[in-house]
Each structure stands twice: as C-alpha cells, then as structure tokens.
C-alpha cells in the first residue's frame, strides 16, 4: 500500500483516485441510505424488551461497526509495537 | 442398507492412490469422495454397528442427524479438495489428504470413546504429512510441533476414556459434561484440537507452513471434527461460552498485524471456531444448530479463502501482504472467488455465514448475555477487517506490486467456483442447510430488521476502512477550505497501518523461545556446577597424592633413614603402652 511519505506511489494512486472517487462517493451514499432506513423500518429487537435498550436507538449497529473497526485498527497498531519481531526471530 | 463403513472408502481408497500412476490416480481421487457420499446416503438414521474387541463392546458406527451432517460435510470437503489437488504430480498429498478425510469421517461416526481415540490419533498422524509435504526445515519443525500437540490430545482422550470407564462402566460417547474432574481430560483433548486459547498455536504455526493443497485439506477436518465432539459431549456447558468468546476476540488483533495471508486466515479460523464454541456453550436447539451450521459453512467459505490464497501462492510464489497487491489483473477469476469468500465470512446477506452465525447471536441474545453478545458483535466487525477487507484488498488491489503471473490452474478455479456457488446458494436458500441440522429449525434469518442491521454493521465497518485508507493515501496539499476540513477530520482517526514483514509473538513463544532458552540456561549452569565439582575433587585428590608421595621420598616420614636410637625409643614407647594397657 501507499504512504503519504512516498510521493511517487502517491502520484500513481491519485491517478487511480479519479476513477475510484465515484466508487467511494457511491459507497458513502449507500451507507447514508442504510442508516436512514432506521427512520423508516420498524425494528424488532434481538434482545427481550428492556435488556439492551440502546440496540433500538438510531444508528446503533452502524456506529458500533464503524467504531469497532477503528478500535481494532488502533489496537492492532499498539499490539504490533509490542509483538513484532524480525522474520528470522525463531530461526536464530 | 449399506455394508460398508462410511470411513472405509476414503481410508482404503486413499491407500490405493499411492499405488496408482498419475492419470488413474487423478480420476480415482475425485471419484472416491463421490462413492463415499453415495454410500453414506444408504446408511439410515439411527444405525448402530457394534463389534466386540478384547471383551469390550465398541460402537464403530453411530449414525444420527448430527454425525450424518458432518459426514456429508467431510465428503463435500474431500471432493472439493481433490479437485483442487488435480494438478499435483506427487501422490503423498492427495493420498494422505483422503486418508485424513476418512479419519475425520470415522471420528464423527464413532459411537464410543475408544473408536473415537483411534480415529483421533489417525487424524493427527495423517495430517502431519500434509505439513511436511512442503519440504524444508521450517515445515519439518513446524510439523513436529504440530504432531506433539495432537498426539498429546489423543493421549488425554485415552486417559479420559479410561477414567470414564472406571467410573461409569461405559465407553459410550454421548453427553459427558463437566460435572466430574476427570471429564476435563476429555474436554482438554477436544480443546487442543479445537484450538482453545493458549492451546491454539499449533494451528497458526502449522497450517501456513503447508502446501497450497495441504492447507485446504487441513482447514476442513481437524477443527470441525473437534467441534462435532464438543457438540456431542459438552453441549450447554457455560464454560464454553467464555472460552468461545475469547476465541472470537483475540485473533482479530493478531490477524490485523499478521503479514502472511494464510496465517491471517488461520487466526480468522480460530475466530470463527469461537462462534461455534459459543453456540455449543449456549446449547439447546438454537445454539447447537447455530454452531454446527456455522461449522458447515465455515468449511466452505474458509476453504474457499484458503484455496484463493493457495492459488496466489502457487501462481505468484508470494503470500505476504507486504509483497502482494494488484493481482486482480493477473488472476481475475481467483480474485472474484476470493471476494465471494470474503463476503461470505463477513456474513453479508445472501452469503452463507449470514444464515448460520446469526443463529448463534440470537441464541446468545435469548440467553440474556448482553456483554457476550456485544463482544461477539465487535468480533463480527473484526472478521470484516481481516477476512472481509484485508485478504482480498491487499492481495488483489491496493498498490500494484508489479506481479505478472498466470491465473491459477483450471482445476483450482473449478474447485474455487464450486465453493463460491455453494456459499451463495446456501446463503440465499437456507432450507438447503437447515433441513440437515440436528434439531428442527424455527429461526428465520431473512427478516427486514436482520438484513438492514447486518448491512449497517458490515458497511459502516467498511466505511471506517475507506476513511482510514483515504487518510493514508490522500494528498494533504489540497487547496480548498472544504477539502482541508475533510482531510483534517479524517486525519483525526489516523492512518491505516501498512503491512509489515515480521513475526508476531504468540503463545508459541513459550515453547519455541522461552522453554528452549530456559533449558539451555539450566543445562549450562548445571554443567558449570558439575564441572567445578569434578575439577575441585580432582585438585583435592591430586593434592592428597602429592602429600602422600612427599612422605615417601628420601626426606619424607616413611622414606627417610631413621637413626637406631630413634627406633629403640619408638619400640620402648610401644612396649610401655602395651604394659599400661594390660596392667
């Protein structure tokens, strides 16, 4: 993958981005539509009444998925700092 | 009514493959699972076959809905695996692969603990050859570690069976439970094969070291036979809910930082097994149905993902995320199949995990375990991260690594396509699988609420990925105010971390690093102490000898010439002592 610090790769990616931009935009619109369905669709809760009331709130699943993903990425960055060793670590 | 044990066709046929030349071997290898399956269809539900051995009555075949489901599954996996292996010239992989499949079939039809033990050990012995088939020092060592773990699992099972017999006077393999201390021996034996936390590292260690074909076979049988055994023996044990939950959560972080794609899938496998273990722990019709249907689906979609990564390794010679990228140009078919596998494992509606994992989730919700449910939901987003996005995106898209290779061989593409079609067909038409489940199903996966909520969870997780990628890729020299604000907001969430080569420490560090070093240190210190002891003793003896010798030279006590008067004096002294003593 690219990093902002490697300008040559960045340039190449931006060339792609032109085509990908519409894809991303379409995806964002799709996500917006998905979360807006919470206003229209009558929901049946997974849990019995009163056990997890937050489940019925607007956008619970969407926000949960988004935040969980970020937490996993952030968590893995910390974990990698602690656990990453060179490839021949066990061969020494 | 069949007269042939369902395991026999694969076991004997697998042996036969070693004697056949290439072309007949290829044909027979694909036909064998089909024959096995047709034979299985003739076995009626409720069939029991007993044999008497050494005064004990063993149930070598017990067919009920639970064992039949796994029987069908293993034949299906063997069939797909055999097609995937068709390009191979060597007989070791396909031969041991089908014997291994036969062992798994034998294990799920075993009606007593001794028969189970025999197939349990056979699973270990046959599968290790698939690890060794890769060749080289790494595979050899990894296979040895794998074998030690699995033989230990078998021995625990045997020990547990002996205690079980002494207590109950029965060897029947039915519900065992955890109400007695010695039942934990059998529980632990199943736990090793099921990759319970801290006992899991054989999977992470050995599966990615195998050949492309070997890993596909390995991923299908051992852990699923263990899931069957847990469902049979320990359904409804609360402990399994907690163990399973841990299994769903810790691998997602490891999978996120792992570079070897097949190792990512191995972590992902533990995560998926975790959902099954939770389902078994919940027990009841919904829990068990959820667990075994997810096991069924997992063999198909995880097999598909392992096949696609195996194809990448086969064609490009690379498997590390840091070396891959842009492969969709060279391997479009494999790419499409991989995306279907990724969509399936992510439990997107119309794909197969959607109809099975949700049963486990609903089972947990019905039991009122809110925290466990929230953790499992978190883990579901984690699946999306490593299997739904990382595997296809960093292999086939991301930046172009410049690899220009051939598409996977035709047989590999056919095997992947069969799996991909099954993922969609089972996902879109649930009764196909639901009708095979051990308990009647009154769960409806396709409700508006369920579909919408699952789509929200999945696609907003993907949205997070898109946002993270944008911050990594975006040109920060953007001019307009809106662009600057957007970038600023995006940068708050950070970058998507790059894929880095390396080894991540896991519990195998204990026996691969700490223990050998500890033993070496003990031996070194112990050796030093022993050396010093002997050196000291030697010096002491040498000094003694020197002292004795000194008394024997011509100036020593015993060697020098004594004067006559001195001799007379000594004689007088002795005589005096003699006199006094006898006086």
Q: What pLDDT, on the 0 to 100 scale, is given for residue B505? A: 85
Nearest CA to B360 out of B283, B423, B424 is that of B283
Chain A positions in Cβ-Cβ contact with residue B497 (cut-off 8 Å)? 73, 76-77, 80
pLDDT tens-digit map of B436-477: 999 999 999 999 889 999 999 999 999 999 888 877 766 555
Angstroms from A79 CA to nearest CA on chain B: 8
pLDDT at B569 > cutoff 50:
yes
Q: Which residue of B has its CA nearest to A27?
A: B463
Beta-carbon separation of A9 and B399 below 8 A: yes
Beta-carbon separation of B468 and A80 below 8 A: no
pLDDT at A14 > cutoff 50:
no
Beta-carbon separation of A37 and B452 below 8 A: yes
Q: What is the mean pLDDT of chain A?
A: 79
Q: What pLDDT, on the 0 to 100 scale, is given for residue B403? A: 86
Q: What pLDDT, on the 0 to 100 scale, is given for residue B502? A: 83
Name the residue among A3, A27, A35 with its Cβ closest to that of B466.
A27
CA dist B473 and B518 (Å) reads 46
Name the residue among B378, B456, B494 with its Cβ closest to that of A62.
B456
Task: Give B55-113 as a DSSP string.
Answer: TEEEEEEE--HHHHHHHHHHHHHHHHHHHHTTT---HHHHHHHHHHHHHHHHHHH--BH
Angstroms from A47 CA to nearest CA on chain B: 5
Whether the CB-CB separation of B380 and B386 falls below 8 Å is answered with: no
Angstroms from B503 CA to nearest CA on chain A: 5
pLDDT tens-digit map of B191-219: 999 999 999 999 999 999 999 999 999 99
Please give the average per-residue pLDDT across B55-67, as a whole number. 92
Q: Coil, strand or helix: which one is B262?
A: helix
Which residues, in sequence order, are CB contacts of B378 under 8 Å at separation 6+? A64, A68, A71, B249
Q: Which residue of A has its CA nearest to B393?
A: A1
CA dist B548 and B208 (Å) reads 69
Task: Give B218-247 as a DSSP string.
Answer: HHHHHHHHHHHHHHHHSTT-HHHHHHHHHH
pLDDT tens-digit map of B224-237: 999 999 999 999 99
Name which of A69-78, B44-53, B415-424, B554-563 the model is least confident about.
B554-563
Q: Is B429 left (phi over 0), alpha (psi -120 to 50) or beta?
A: beta
CA dist B223 and B569 (Å) reads 95
Position A4 confidence tier, pLDDT thresholds 50, 70, 90: very low
pLDDT tens-digit map of B296-323: 999 999 999 999 999 999 999 999 999 9
Calculate the alpha carbon distances from B308 to B75, B268, B299, B331, B399 in Å.
Answer: 20, 15, 14, 10, 19
Q: Coil, strand or helix: which one is B403?
A: coil
Nearest CA to B268 out of B382, B392, B394 is that of B382
Domain boundaries, chain B: 1-234, 237-441, 529-582
Q: Which residue of B has its CA nearest to A21?
A: B470
CA dist B380 and B376 (Å) reads 6
Nearest CA to B365 out of B251, B443, B455, B452 is that of B443
């Amino acid at each position: 993958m690219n990093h902002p610090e490697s300008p040559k790769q960045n340039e190449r990616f931006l060339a792609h981005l032109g085509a990908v931009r519409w894809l991303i935009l379409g995806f964002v619109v799709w996500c917006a539509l998905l979360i807006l369905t919470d206003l229209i669709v009558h929901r049946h809760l997974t849990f019995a009444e009163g056990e997890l009331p937050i489940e019925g709130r607007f956008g619970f699943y969407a926000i949960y998925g988004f935040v969980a993903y970020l937490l996993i990425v952030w968590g893995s960055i910390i974990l990698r700092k602690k656990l990453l060793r060179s490839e021949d670590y066990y061969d020494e | 009514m069949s007269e042939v044990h369902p395991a026999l066709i694969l076991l004997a046929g697998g042996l036969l493959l070693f004697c056949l030349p290439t072309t007949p071997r290829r044909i027979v290898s694909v036909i064998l699972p089909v024959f096995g399956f047709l034979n299985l269809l003739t076995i009626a539900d409720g069939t029991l076959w007993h044999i008497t051995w050494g005064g004990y009555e063993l149930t070598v075949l017990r067919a009920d809905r639970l064992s039949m489901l796994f029987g069908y599954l293993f034949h299906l996996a063997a069939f797909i695996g055999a097609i995937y292996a068709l390009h191979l010239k060597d007989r070791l992989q396909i031969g041991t692969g089908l014997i291994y499949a036969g062992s798994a079939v034998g294990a799920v039809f075993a009606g007593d603990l001794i028969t189970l033990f025999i197939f349990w050990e056979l699973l270990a012995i046959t599968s290790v050859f698939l690890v060794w088939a890769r060749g080289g020092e790494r595979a050899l060592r990894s296979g040895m570690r794998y074998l030690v773990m699995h033989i230990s699992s078998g021995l625990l099972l045997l020990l547990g069976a002996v205690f079980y017999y002494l207590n109950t006077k029965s060897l029947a393999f039915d519900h065992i439970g955890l109400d007695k201390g010695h039942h934990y021996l059998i529980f632990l034996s199943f736990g090793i094969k099921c990759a319970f936390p801290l006992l899991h590292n054989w999977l992470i260690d050995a599966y990615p070291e195998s050949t492309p074909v070997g890993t596909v076979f390995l991923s299908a049988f051992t852990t699923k036979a263990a899931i069957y055994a847990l469902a049979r023996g320990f359904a409804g044990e609360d402990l399994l809910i907690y163990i399973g939950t841990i299994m769903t959560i810790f691998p997602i972080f490891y999978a996120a930082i792992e570079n070897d794609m097949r190792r990512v899938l191995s972590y992902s496998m533990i995560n998926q097994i975790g959902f099954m273990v939770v389902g078994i722990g919940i027990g009841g019709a919904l829990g068990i149905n959820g667990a075994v249907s997810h096991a069924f689906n997992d063999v198909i979609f995880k097999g598909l993902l392992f096949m696609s990564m195996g194809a990448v390794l086969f064609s490009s010679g690379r498997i590390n995320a840091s070396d891959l990228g842009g492969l969709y140009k060279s391997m479009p078919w494999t790419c499409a199949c991989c995306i279907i596998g990724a969509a399936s494992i992510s439990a997107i509606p119309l794909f197969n995990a959607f109809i099975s994992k949700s049963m486990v989730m609903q089972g947990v919700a019905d039991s009122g375990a809110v925290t466990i449910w929230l953790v499992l939901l978190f883990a579901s987003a984690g699946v999306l991260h490593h299997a739904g996005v990382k595997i296809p995106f960093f292999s086939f898209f991301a930046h172009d690594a410049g690899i220009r290779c051939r598409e996977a061989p035709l047989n590999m593409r056919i095997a992947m396509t069969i799996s991909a079609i099954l993922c969609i067909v089972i996902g879109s038409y649930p009764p196909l699988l639901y009708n095979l489940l051990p308990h009647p199903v009154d769960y409806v996966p396709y409700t508006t609420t369920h579909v919408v909520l699952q789509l929200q969870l999945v696609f907003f997780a993907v949205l997070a990925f898109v946002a993270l990628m944008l911050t990594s890729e975006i040109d920060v020299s953007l001019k307009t105010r809106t662009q600057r604000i957007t970038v600023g907001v995006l940068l708050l969430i950070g970058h998507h971390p790059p894929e880095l080569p390396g080894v991540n420490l896991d519990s195998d560090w204990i026996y691969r690093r700490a223990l050998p070093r500890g033993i070496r240190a003990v031996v070194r210190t112990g050796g030093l102490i022993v050396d010093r002891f002997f050196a000291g003793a030697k010096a002491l003896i040498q000094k003694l000898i020197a002292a004795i010798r000194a008394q024997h030279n011509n100036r020593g006590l015993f060697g020098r010439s004594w004067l006559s008067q001195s001799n007379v004096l000594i004689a007088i002294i002795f005589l005096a002592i003699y006199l006094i003593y006898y006086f």
